[in-house]
Amino acid sequence: MAENKKPLLKAEDVSEVFGGLKAVADFNFYINRGELIGLIGPNGAGKTTIFNLITGVYVPTTGEILLDGESIVGQKPYEITQRGIARTFQNIRLFSELSVLDNVKIAYHCHVKYNLLETVLRMGRYFGEEDEITQESLKLLKIFKLDEHAHEVAKNLPYGAQRRLEIARALAAKPKLLLLDEPAAGMNPQETHELMEMIRWIRKQFDLTVLLIEHDMSLVMGICERIYVLEYGMIIAEGTPAEIQNNPEVIRAYLGTETVN
Amino acid sequence: MDFFHQLIQQLINGVSLGSIYALIALGYTMIYGIIKLINFAHGDIYMVGAYLGFFGVTAAGLPILPALLISMFVTGCLGMVVEKLAYKPLRHAPRISILITAIGVSFFLEYTGMYFVTPTPRTFPDVMGNISFDVAGFIINGQQVLIFAITIILMALLTYIVQKTKLGKAMRAASFDTETAQLMGVDSDKVISMTFFIGSSLAAAAGVLVGVYYNTIDPLMGIMPGLKAFVAAVLGGIGILPGAVVGGIILGVIEALVAGFLSSTFRDAAAFAILILVLLVKPSGLFGKNTNEKV
Amino acid sequence: MNSIRKRDLAMLIFGLILYGAIQGMISEKIIGSFWQLNIILICVNVIMAVSLNLINGYTGQFSLGHAGFMAVGAYVGVVATVNFQLPLIAALILGALCAGALGFLIGLPTLRLRGDYLAIATLGLGEIIRIVIMNIEYVGGAAGFKGIPHLTNFTWVFFTMLFTLFFIKNFVNSSHGRACIAIRENEIAAEAMGVNTTKYKVMAFTIGAAFAGIAGGLFAHQFYLISPNSFTFLSSFNYLIMVVLGGMGSITGSIAGAFVVTFISAALASFPEARMIIYALALILLMFYRPQGLFGYMEVTNFAPIKKLLDKISGNKGV
């Protein structure tokens, strides 16, 4: 699997300026295939901005982002998804009026091969692929313990279930790299623990590389292999959970200067 | 020289027409600014104003100014009533519901109007006589003078209300962010109500002035000017008062030039072409700022 | 073989029975010429409403210019049959192609706009189309196009309507349709799930415009004369009302909406003044008490008894 040392995703000197304000400055990082990486930092540090840069929602002001060694800068979000990066959103963005099942089915979109003519005449590959999509979606829902809710409207799900559905939906796009934006936000410790197990499990099962933003330190320290710490749009530390926990810069960023000494 | 002369004359006509668009557009833009509704009934409110002015002058035999003021007051109240009955219950409904309701109110005003005053156009009496002024060879007639005077007075008054009074402050706060304004103690229902009153009375003034200017009114007269006033509001930047005025005048001038130098059948197309152009180049309008959704 | 296909077949058979019944009543003169005209108008309006629903209801792009595309189809159609002696089918196809092409050209730049701005832009474009037609002397200008052969009949409109319904239904129930619905629900999430949002907005707009063109062709050949005034933004409002009345995002709803609006306006034809007042009040009350329309997102096939019946016919065990 890790046949080469080329990272799956690499950002080189990425900066993003919003009207004079540097939201992200000289951001450098890499993720190797199969890794599970955490991105942490205080509120407003620019974490979600980095997700938006990777997924093409924003275009970097300067710098380069490489997926499998190829630049993805300037590509539209849907093109980047088609190339194998899927994400969840911090503020849940489900297709809220649709059924749980349909939410997942939509994400198979970029893998559908039947064309418009086959669609409207219902012939050729249409039936086969639609069946396959439904079956695979139900399988995914089962993994996330959502199968009993398959025909419920997404907005009626409890909060934790909505977060799980977001992950299920992202997986349906069959990504190589999964970006999770605060997956445990609003969950209780029990749910967070289950989520942690689930992330571990899907990573193995789907052969995924995962990058996650999270405030819940038990989750980040519990599953991430490597952590980047962001403050004011800049990386202030990088390392294993143990290294990060003892890094004075990180402690300062989180607790303020006075407490360093 | 001849071309130049004609150009100036068309500009005068254009500014007169544009002032009327501006008065309607102000109401449009105020209402949109505060409840984000394209009030399709606004043009019909203007029609009601024109008829009230007409009956004030003819049936009640009033001079034009009292008739104008009465029309403005009554139409303003009508605007408030429409808001109370039709829009207020839908304040938290999806946008399309309110929009469809506005279309419904528009139909209702048009056809109830038609029911009472018959569809036949009425001739607005000549209230200004045949006065006209010759300014360096350019003709400005009495109606145009009246339009300019009334428009300037009303705009000065509106500026005063919006900038200097407590109500105006509340209106600005509410159009910036209704919910926060409410938290700060602004009675948003009252502010919205007053916005409809002011917007509708401005439209009524425009209606009466159009009656005086073109001498003819009919129950469907509000449809096109209503739409064009909205174009003017979009052109200036929706929700921005000076934008509505500038947008209205630009639109009036362009229409007068198209009608004068090209063909009057393309007059309406010109307005819509401007609309499309503005929306594609700078949807926030001449005076507006661009905003993006946060991800 | 497949349960979905069997359900389609069941609906087709139901359509044929309906056709037979109405056609029978027309030939037996049980339905007079007034109601015959209105039945034809209902079918044309169903095509208009369903195609607009694809844009407004399913894709969530607020269009107020649908009558403009209908006008293109109508005028292209009559020029084809009158000036080029083409058969009706060719006129309809040409009308659909031209309206669709125009929809594509207009949609590409315009669909970047959102919500109210898109609504007002499409309204403006619809009016521009009408004013341009009004200034083309070749098609009669403001006076209208005269001498159109009466080629439309119940059979034509009914089967064209049926074709439209199947086309849109199949489109909506596919990955392409789901992409459109995803845009309505959350554009940013749709894009993040790999949906090329621009492509699907334009696709929905183009398909909708093409079917409006077909409806225009059928409409035009029902009358001796058409004029640009039949296609003002007020007619666009009317189609929008059908869609909202029936339920945005429901094909059954659009059929019901087209039926109710056309039927009521025919039934009240003898009270022209009161008609529009009642219509306006009904519209306002509908928004107060049932803003999601008669059907909301539901289809007639979702209702328990009908679903059961269809499942029985198609041998579906139920999902």
Q: Per-residue pLDDT tens for C136-157?
A: 999 998 899 999 999 999 999 9
Q: What is the count of residue pairs from A and C with beta carbons less than 8 Å apart?
A: 104
Q: Where among A130, A148, A174 does a domain terminate? A: A174
Q: Are residues A126 and A231 in the same domain?
A: no
Q: Are residues A45 and A164 in the same domain?
A: no
B170-183: per-residue pLDDT in tens? 888 888 888 888 88
Q: Is A121 in Cβ contact with C170 (below 8 Å)?
A: yes
Element (H, E) at B71: helix B64-82
Residue whose C-alpha is closest to residue C106's, from A76, B279, A86? B279
CATH topology assigned to domain C41-317: ABC transporter involved in vitamin B12 uptake, BtuC (1.10.3470)
Q: Is the pLDDT of residue B136 over 50?
A: yes
Closest chain C residue to the Cα of A130, Cα to Cα: C174
Sheet holding A234-239, edge to edge: A85-87, A177-181, A209-213, A36-40, A226-231, A234-239
User: Closest to C195 (Cβ–Cβ): which among A78, A105, A172?
Assistant: A78
A31-47: per-residue pLDDT in tens? 999 999 999 998 888 99
Most C CBs within 10 Å, among B36, B101, B281, to test the C interface: B101
Q: Which two tokens stand for residue B11?
A: 């500009």
Interface contact A122, partner C, CB < 8 A: yes
CA atoms within 13 A on the CB side of B61: 0
Q: Is C291 in Cβ contact with B234 (below 8 Å)?
A: no
Total tally of structural domains belonging to chain A: 2
Q: Are residues A4 and A78 in the same domain?
A: yes
Q: Is the pLDDT of residue A260 over 50?
A: no
Chain A closest CA to B294's CA: distance in Å? Answer: 10
A111 CB neighbour count, 10 Å cutoff: 16
Chain C closest CA to A127's CA: distance in Å? Answer: 8
So what's the pLDDT on residue C315? 66
Q: Which chain A residues have a beta carbon less than 8 Å from that of B295?
A: 48, 52, 57, 89
So what's the pLDDT on residue C316? 61
Domain with B21, as residue range(s), is 2-281
Q: Is B272 in Cβ contact with C127 (below 8 Å)?
A: yes
CATH number of the domain encompassing residue A37: 3.40.50.300
Most A CBs within 10 Å, among C6, C185, C187, C314, to test the A interface: C185
Q: What is the DSSP pairing of strand A21-31 with strand A177-181?
A: unpaired
Residue whose C-alpha is closest to residue C193's, from A55, A95, A107, A180? A107
Q: Is C192 in Cβ contact with A93 (below 8 Å)?
A: yes
CA dihedral C57, C63, C64, C67 (to 10 degrees): -90
Q: Are residues A160 and A212 in the same domain?
A: no
Model confidence band, residue A261 (pLDDT cutoffs 50, 70, 90): very low
Residue B249 lies in a domain: yes
**3-state SS of B239-263?**
CCHHHHHHHHHHHHHHHHHHHHHHC
So what's the pLDDT on residue A259? 47
Q: Which two tokens stand for residue A78?
A: 């849907």
Taking only the tens of pLDDT, chain C with its 319 residues reads 467 778 888 889 999 999 999 999 998 888 888 999 999 999 999 999 999 999 999 999 999 999 999 999 999 999 999 999 999 999 999 999 999 999 999 999 999 888 888 988 999 999 999 999 999 999 998 899 999 999 999 999 999 999 999 999 999 999 999 999 999 999 999 999 999 999 999 999 999 999 999 999 999 999 999 999 999 998 999 999 999 999 999 999 999 999 999 998 888 888 877 888 888 998 899 889 988 888 888 888 777 778 777 777 766 654 4
Instruction: Read off the pTM.
Output: 0.90
Closest chain A residue to the Cα of C173, Cα to Cα: A119
Q: Is C196 in Cβ contact with A78 (below 8 Å)?
A: yes
User: Closest to C273 (Cβ–Cβ): which among B38, B99, B111?
Assistant: B111
Q: Are residues A80 and A179 in the same domain?
A: yes
Percent of chain B with pLDDT over 90: 54
Most B CBs within 10 Å, among C106, C131, C136, C191, to test the B interface: C131
- CA gap C113, C60 in Å, rounded: 12
Total tally of structural domains belonging to chain B: 1
Most A CBs within 10 Å, among C164, C178, C197, to test the A interface: C178
Q: Is C195 in Cβ contact with A102 (below 8 Å)?
A: no
So what's the pLDDT on residue B186? 85
Model confidence band, residue B79 (pLDDT cutoffs 50, 70, 90): very high
Model confidence band, residue A257 (pLDDT cutoffs 50, 70, 90): low
User: Closest to C176 (Cβ–Cβ): which among A89, A108, A119?
Assistant: A119
Residue whose C-alpha is closest to residue A104's, from A199, A175, A168, A177? A168
In angstroms, what CA-CA distances link C219 with C44, C68, C152, C268? Answer: 7, 13, 8, 21
Interface contact B295, partner A, CB < 8 A: yes
User: Closest to C277 (Cβ–Cβ): which among B108, B269, B271?
Assistant: B108
Q: Which chain C residues have a beta carbon less than 8 Å from that of A96?
A: 185-186
Interface contact A55, partner C, CB < 8 A: yes
User: Closest to B272 (Cβ–Cβ): which among C124, C134, C288?
Assistant: C124
Q: Which chain A residues have a beta carbon less than 8 Å from that of C176?
A: 116, 119
Residue in this structure with the two tokens 């002015």, named with its chain if needed: B53
Domain with A10, as residue range(s), is 1-84+175-261
Q: Which chain B residues have a beta carbon less than 8 Å from that of C131?
A: 265-266, 268-269, 272
Chain A closest CA to B49's CA: distance in Å? Answer: 43
A149 DSSP 8-state letter? G
Alpha helices in chain A (DSSP H): 47-54, 77-82, 100-106, 116-121, 126-143, 159-172, 189-205, 217-223, 241-245, 248-255
Interface contact B101, partner C, CB < 8 A: yes
CA atoms within 13 A on the CB side of C302: 10
CATH number of the domain encompassing residue B15: 1.10.3470
User: Closest to C193 (Cβ–Cβ): which among A107, A120, A122?
Assistant: A107
Interface contact A49, partner B, CB < 8 A: no
So what's the pLDDT on residue B177? 82
Q: Which residues are bridge partners to B187 per DSSP?
A: none
Q: Are residues A158 and A197 in the same domain?
A: no
Q: Where among A109, A140, A174 does a domain terminate? A: A174
- CA gap A122, B163 in Å, rounded: 63
What residues 272-291 of chain C have any CB closer than 8 A to a CB of chain A? none
Closest chain B residue to the Cα of C273, Cα to Cα: B115
So what's the pLDDT on residue B4? 83
So what's the pLDDT on residue A103? 96
Q: Is the pLDDT of residue B1 over 60?
A: no
So what's the pLDDT on residue B211? 93
A32 burial via Cβ count (<10 Å: 0-12, 13-18, 19+): middle
So what's the pLDDT on residue B295? 61
B226-284: per-residue pLDDT in tens? 989 999 999 998 888 999 999 999 999 999 999 888 877 788 888 889 888 888 888 88
Q: Is B227 in Cβ contact with C135 (below 8 Å)?
A: no
So what's the pLDDT on residue B281? 87
Mean pLDDT over residues B67-94, rounded? Answer: 94
Residue A92 lies in a domain: no
ipTM for the whole complex = 0.90
Chain A closest CA to C145's CA: distance in Å? Answer: 35
A187-241: per-residue pLDDT in tens? 889 999 999 999 999 999 999 999 999 988 889 999 999 999 999 899 999 999 9
Q: Which chain A residues have a beta carbon less than 8 Å from that of C193?
A: 78, 81, 86, 106-107, 109-110, 169-170, 172-173
Chain B closest CA to A131's CA: distance in Å? Answer: 33
Mean pLDDT over residues B5-15, rounded? Answer: 88
Alpha helices in chain C (DSSP H): 3-27, 33-53, 66-78, 88-110, 115-134, 154-172, 175-185, 187-192, 197-220, 233-246, 251-267, 272-289, 304-314
Mean pLDDT over residues B95-102, rounded? Answer: 88
So what's the pLDDT on residue A3? 47
Closest chain B residue to the Cα of A91, Cα to Cα: B295
Q: Is the pLDDT of residue A183 over 70?
A: yes
Q: Which chain C residues have a beta carbon less than 8 Å from that of B99?
A: 116, 119
Q: Are residues A23 and A67 in the same domain?
A: yes
Q: Is the pLDDT of residue A17 over 80?
A: yes
